[in-house]
Amino acid sequence: MVKYHCLNPISGVGLEQFTENYERTDELAGADVVLVRSAAMHDLELPSGLKAIARAGAGVNNIPLEKCAEKGIVVFNTPGANANGVKELVIAGMLLASRDIVGGIEWVQTVKDEENVAKLVEKGKSRFAGREIEGKKLGVIGLGAIGVLVANAAEHLGMTVYGHDPYLSVEHAWSLSRSVQYVKSREEIFRECDYITVHVPLLEDTRKMIDKKALGMMKDGVVILNFARDLLVDDDAMEEALQSGRVARYVTDFPNARTAGMKGVIAIPHLGASTAESEDNCARMAVLELMEYMETGSITNSVNYPACDAGPLTTAGRVTICHRNIPNMLTQFTGTFSASNVNIEHLINKSRGNYAYTVIDVESPVSPEFADRLRAIDGVLSVRSI
């Protein structure tokens, strides 16, 4: 029986995927696997028997990834599960920035108690006039699960769409509308587009990618949308660009102490994935990832260990080993099996940075004592027998 613990409320649509071989526990200490959304885990004491953590969402800043890797705990996330929810909010953000809808709504509240409110509205509405997005150029930087959906939706709304992603996958390339114009550099998007939306992870290469130099390349009156990560934009440079008119509006889903009150900013309280459908999708994917890992040893969408498709278990036993990515590990593993007269039928080894993962199918089930011998090898972080 596999025991799972939820650190946050998790959608029942996801939890109902668990079979009778899984049992919920209210105690973290007794859990084999954990499901989490936003709960902070950095200061938690992780139980020695914990094997995996699944984040029902994409961001994993609340999880101590290195600490988990060192304990042989595989951490999963659910990329793409909330993509449609974010896409819809990006489109809403473009419309909010193009038409002064927020300003208009706020103004109506100041005159709502006047008897002649209808006449006041007709007289005052001109100050909130805007522009249409049809026929405008949209640049999408990052063509992953969200970026592709945004690009395709904008194309259907009559926009001319430019896309850039040096790491565009085959899967997402096939999903991208053929009308989207793929460009080789961010700079071309900076120079050409009326609207620019970023959908990239926060890396050294992307940190403050929208800076003074980038903003200087853009058209006057450009609209910038950030529904990816707060630190992709240089706040100082953005404030200067808003004041000069180079940027007409900056729409962000990540308000901070600077941008929350900055003139020209439409600050949304991180609502990108805040839909019932996104929560259901994330929970369902997280549960299925945990079940696949516990039942077959396969790893899909891990953020601290390599992906590994181990396939169905067709032999008498399977051993999975989380270990450091250092020389001579496989030789020690196979030597241990050979010394114990355990025949290996199939072996898979994958690595990712400082860590590696090995799956070994055997002709006969291994004993707890044999698993202990593998754990004793220097560099082994966890061993599991399926």
Report d(CA 176, CA 374) in Å as an integer: 46
**Domain interval for residue 322:** 306-386
Residues 91 and 230 in one domain: yes
Q: Please indicate, yes or no, whether residues 63 and 93 belong to a single structural domain of this protein.
A: no
Quote the pLDDT of residue 301.
97
Tell whether the model's pLDDT for residue 175 goes beyond 90.
yes
Provide DSSP, 54-82: EESSS--TTS-HHHHHHTT-EEE--TTTT
- Boundary (domain end) residue, out of 304, 321, 350: 304
Residues 223-267 pLDDT 10s: 999 999 999 999 999 999 999 999 999 999 999 999 999 999 999
Q: Is the whole-model pTM more than 0.75?
A: yes
Both 293 and 252 in one domain: the answer is no
Judge if 99 and 247 occupy the same domain. yes
Domain boundary among 217, 249, 267: 267
Q: What is the pLDDT of residues 8-38, one digit of tens each?
A: 999 999 999 999 999 999 999 999 999 999 9
Number of structural domains in the chain = 3
Task: Name the average pLDDT for the chain.
Answer: 96
Residue 186 sits in the same domain as residue 240: yes
CATH of the domain at 369: 3.30.70.260
| Residues 217 and 329 occupy one common structural domain | no
CATH number at 150 reads 3.40.50.720
Query: Are residues 214 and 291 both part of a single domain?
Result: no
- Give tens-digit pLDDT for 59-101: 898 999 999 999 999 999 999 999 999 999 999 999 999 999 9
Residues 230 and 196 in one domain: yes
In angstroms, the CA 273 to CA 377 distance is 43
Is the domain of 118 the same as that of 236? yes
Task: Categorize the per-residue pLDDT at 54 as very low, low, confident or very high, splitting at 50, 70 and 90.
Answer: very high
Number of H helices, E strands in the chain: 13, 16
* φ/ψ of residue 210, rounded to 5: -90, 85
Each residue of 11-47: b (16+ CB within 10 Å) or e? bebbbebbeeebeeeeebeebbbbbbbeeebeeeebb
Can you give the pLDDT at residue 58?
85
Highest mean pLDDT pick, 124-133, 156-165, 169-178? 156-165
Which of 62, 58, 13 minimizes the C-alpha distance to 281? 13
**Predicted local confidence at residue 365, as pLDDT:** 87
Query: 3-state class of 173 per DSSP?
Result: helix
Is a pLDDT exceeding 90 seen at residue 203?
no
Cα dihedral 2, 7, 8, 9 in deg (nearest 10) = 30
Q: Mark whether 76 and 192 lie in a shared domain.
A: no
pLDDT tens profile 315-333 = 999 999 999 999 999 999 9
Residue type, 166: P
Confidence of residue 286 (pLDDT cuts 50, 70, 90): very high
Match 């026929």 to its residue by tokens.
Answer: 135
Measured over all CA atoms, what is the biggest interatomic distance in the chain, rounded to whole angstroms? 92
- Going by pLDDT thresholds of 50, 70 and 90, the confidence category of residue 202 is confident
Q: Return the pLDDT at 61.
A: 87
Contact 291, 18 (CB under 8 A): yes
By percentage, how much of the chain surpasses pLDDT 90?
Answer: 95
Same domain, 34 and 156: no
Cα(120)–Cα(357) distance, rounded to whole angstroms? 68
Same domain, 135 and 237: yes
